[in-house]
Chain A
Amino acid sequence: MSKSRRILAMALSATMGLTMLAGCNNSGTSSTPNNTSSGNQSTPNNSGNSGDASNGKVYWLNFKPEADGTLQEIAKTYKDQKGVDVKVVTAASGSYSQTLTAEMDKSNPPTIFNVGNALGVKDWKDFALDLKGTAIANELNSDASNLYDETGKLVSIPYAMECYGIIVNKDLVEQAGHNVADIKNFETLKTVVEDIHSRASELGFDAFTSCDMDSSSSWRFTGHMINLEYFYEQKDNHWTECPATISGDYVDKFKNLYDLCVDNSISTRAELATGGHDPSQQFKDKKAAFTVQGSWEYSGIVEAGLTNVTMIPYYCGVEGEEKAGLNSGTENCWAINSKVSEADQQATMDFLVWCVTDPDTSAKLVKEFGAMPYKSAAASENAFLAAANDYANDGCYTMNWATNFQPNVDEYRNVFVSALNAYNANPSDTTWEAVKTAIVAGWATQYNAINS
């Protein structure tokens, strides 16, 4: 009797333990993908002979929070039409790297993830399928933004083409008695901007939106505007990999434009470190005629009722800048996880091809992303991307996204932001020197940090 009770007790505690273990397992479906698939180099194609896509699942770890709604809708449509599960998870703004690292360790890791720059390739190349010659790569209409590793493996391919510069509300500029077409260089930009700012109370709007330096806005300067410095450094010989050092020859040109924006904006320098002004909304509310932003803002701006808008280049005082164009490129690139089962890889490949070839779906995605560099994708209606093309067609040089080479990007920008905060609190040569140190010496430090 006593022995049987002891056995019963053991059995009960074991059952409870197992129940808890079962609770820890989050895979709710019976089909478990093979996480230890050794077929890293297998390249699924659209014919479906290397994995049965109907058994596969698609998991897209989305990089663009603003696109989440559209992607969820597309996932549902695909499930309805093809019967294949598509899960879309969107990482919170600024935390993609953390989310990806955590998700990659799970038993159902993402099958599609974003690898958008040189650092991403370095970190995730071992997890990416070689896309060379695959069905989705064959749909591309240009290979200009493809990302390769040092062995020539095609790690990721772009899905959205973007551009950034200075967005202008043409109506407001005209209301102030100026014409956007007259803005051709830094001097003309300065004249218009300073005039609007000096008459802000009379006009009812200012020149620039707030130049907040909190994490929701600082990237517009430390990630985008600084591109003008990198671009002019490598204008005649584009970087193909991250250089160990930069010269900083054009940091003063960055200062020209940065100071112009900050000094002629809605908010004072003292308010910028904390931020919280929502520059995008200020622009939509017609509180300013200019904002430093990118093409992804277009759909939001149009929805807010502004239609007479365009984008102009970063005019900063460089000689010959009358021939400058917009900053065009992308960091929105798809990589397919090579560690998931072949069925999942195949299902993912089929899904991506469907995204860029199905007329309705590609139209939705193009509306969200601006433009997709694929042969069968819908045409873009984005006025900013059209402006980028117009500049290029007029013989202006396109500024490539050299900013994608920023080493150890988050840390590099943190130091940069802190230096700009100190400069804004007390604008002087000394504090600007610290900004220059953060840009130039910071580059070398972070390069060494990732290559040590």
Chain B
Amino acid sequence: MDNTSTISTPSAPKKKRYKNSYKTTMRKWCWLFLGPVLIAFIIGFVWPFIWGIYLSLCKFRVVSETELVGFENYIKVFKDAGFMHAFWYTALFAVVSLVLINILAFMVALALTRGIKGSNLFRTVFFMPNLIGGIVLGYIWSMIFDGILSNFGTSILLDSKYGFWGLIILMCWQQIGYMMIIYIAGLQNIPDDMLEAAKIDGATSVQTLFKITIPNVMPSITICMFLSLTNGFKLFDQNLALTGGQPITMSPDGTIVKSTEMLALNIYTTFYGSNSGAQGTAQAKAVIFFILVAGLGLAQLAITRKKEVQQ
């Protein structure tokens, strides 16, 4: 290789030469490694995304035959009472699930890093629900909830309160184990000397938790909050399988509100459940949905990153 001779040249500072040759090599070979990923990214994300934005401005039945209609679809979205309800319902769900999942996952992680017997077994067991698909979970939990609620002559499909808390319980059960793993990794990274110093200084366990542990696991908190927030907003399978939007109420003037329908399900039912002009409206909803989730996710990342400390 020509750069071997460059490295072995005795003149000039070796380090600089090595750096230059490294740069040259990287420049030469980077496309070999970046190329496939870049192509995959363009095919799998960039192109569908651009195409999706275009479709949101069109009327179509199948995506190969479209008719441009401008911003008509977006106007329809904001006039859709069902979408606005789904938005606020999703926001409420995302906030409640974010708080509960993170607090509980952190508590479980704390408990399982104390060196108690069988920690590894517990970690595995807590993580396992995450391996089951959302649709299956939804149906299983609907049976569990209805098994209990039928004793009181009701069902999860009959009251939106049951639907909401049912979904929260399901999501906590599924997500706590996953977030717990991330928190455990963060907790194990806290330098022992720091904890020891706190102990020597006479810090109480509460002080240690808030002054040492939490600031040191901020990177884990950031990622866990990001994941649970976006997961909450994007939730689809569990929502579809557990309640499917029921109970649905209809006022005499014909307005329909699906009381437990979240944003992603609303987009899906709009796309498949309505007339041939609704596919464009559903696409416009999807674009708004993306902006919303991306915006919220990035804002949350920026805020929590500020609280991270250097070890």
In this complex, the member of B154, B255, B276, B279 whose beta carbon has the largest number of chain A beta carbons within 10 angstroms is: B276
Are A270 and B155 within 8 A (Cβ)? yes
Contacts of A105 in B (CB 8 A): 62-64
Are A421 and B64 within 8 A (Cβ)? no
Known: A9-B28, A408-B273, A415-B248. A270 touches B150 (CB 8 A): yes
Q: Name the segment of B35-43, B171-179, B216-224 touching the other chain.
A: B35-43
A-B CB contact pairs (8 Å), 13 listed: A9-B29, A9-B31, A13-B34, A13-B39, A20-B43, A21-B43, A270-B154, A273-B158, A418-B246, A441-B252, A441-B254, A449-B275, A449-B278
Are A20 and B276 within 8 A (Cβ)? no
Contacts of A271 in B (CB 8 A): 150
Contacts of A437 in B (CB 8 A): 250-252
Are A415 and B250 within 8 A (Cβ)? yes
- A441 and B248 alpha carbons, distance in the complex (Å): 14
Q: Which of A420-446 contact B (CB under 8 A)?
A: 421-422, 425, 434, 437-438, 441-442, 444-445
User: Which chain B residue lies CB-closest to A107?
Assistant: B64
C-beta contact mask, B275-296 vs A, less than 8 Å → 1, else 0?
1111100000000000000000
Contacts of B36 in A (CB 8 A): 13, 16-17, 20
Are B28 and A274 within 8 A (Cβ)? no
Are A410 and B273 within 8 A (Cβ)? yes
| CB of A1 within 8 Å of the partner chain | yes
Contacts of B155 in A (CB 8 A): 270, 273-274, 421, 425
Give, as a whole number of angstroms, the nearest-CB distance from A192 to chain B: 29
Q: Name the segment of A96-104, A230-238, A294-302 touching the other chain.
A: A96-104
| CB of B213 within 8 Å of the partner chain | no
| CB of A414 within 8 Å of the partner chain | yes
User: Which chain A residue lies CB-closest to B27?
Assistant: A6
Known: A270-B154, A425-B153. A449 touches B250 (CB 8 A): no
What is the interface of chain B, defined by CB distance below 8 A to chain A?
A: 2, 24, 28-29, 31-32, 34-36, 39-40, 43, 61-64, 142-143, 146, 150, 153-158, 244-256, 258, 269, 272-279
Are B153 and A270 within 8 A (Cβ)? yes
Are A10 and B273 within 8 A (Cβ)? no
Given A410-B272, A414-B245, A441-B250, 14 new contacts (CB under 8 A): A2-B2, A9-B31, A14-B35, A24-B43, A101-B272, A104-B61, A127-B61, A273-B155, A274-B146, A414-B248, A437-B250, A449-B275, A450-B275, A452-B275
Contacts of A24 in B (CB 8 A): 43
Secondary structure at chain A's binding surface: helix, strand, loop or mixed? Answer: helix
| CB of A419 within 8 Å of the partner chain | yes
Contacts of B143 in A (CB 8 A): 274, 276
| CB of A123 within 8 Å of the partner chain | yes
User: Which chain A residue lies CB-closest to B146?
Assistant: A274
Contacts of A17 in B (CB 8 A): 35-36, 39
| CB of A5 within 8 Å of the partner chain | yes
Are B275 and A408 within 8 A (Cβ)? yes
Give, as a whole number of angstroms, the nearest-CB distance from B31 to chain A: 5
| CB of A411 within 8 Å of the partner chain | yes
- A2 and B279 alpha carbons, distance in the complex (Å): 52
Are A418 and B248 within 8 A (Cβ)? yes
User: Which chain B residue lies CB-closest to A105?
Assistant: B62
Are A421 and B246 within 8 A (Cβ)? yes
User: Which chain A residue lies CB-closest to B36?
Assistant: A16
- A439 and B220 alpha carbons, distance in the complex (Å): 52
Contacts of A21 in B (CB 8 A): 39, 43
C-beta contact mask, A362-389 vs B, less than 8 Å → 1, else 0?
0000000000000000000000000000
| CB of A304 within 8 Å of the partner chain | no
Partner of B62, one of A5, A101, A451: A101
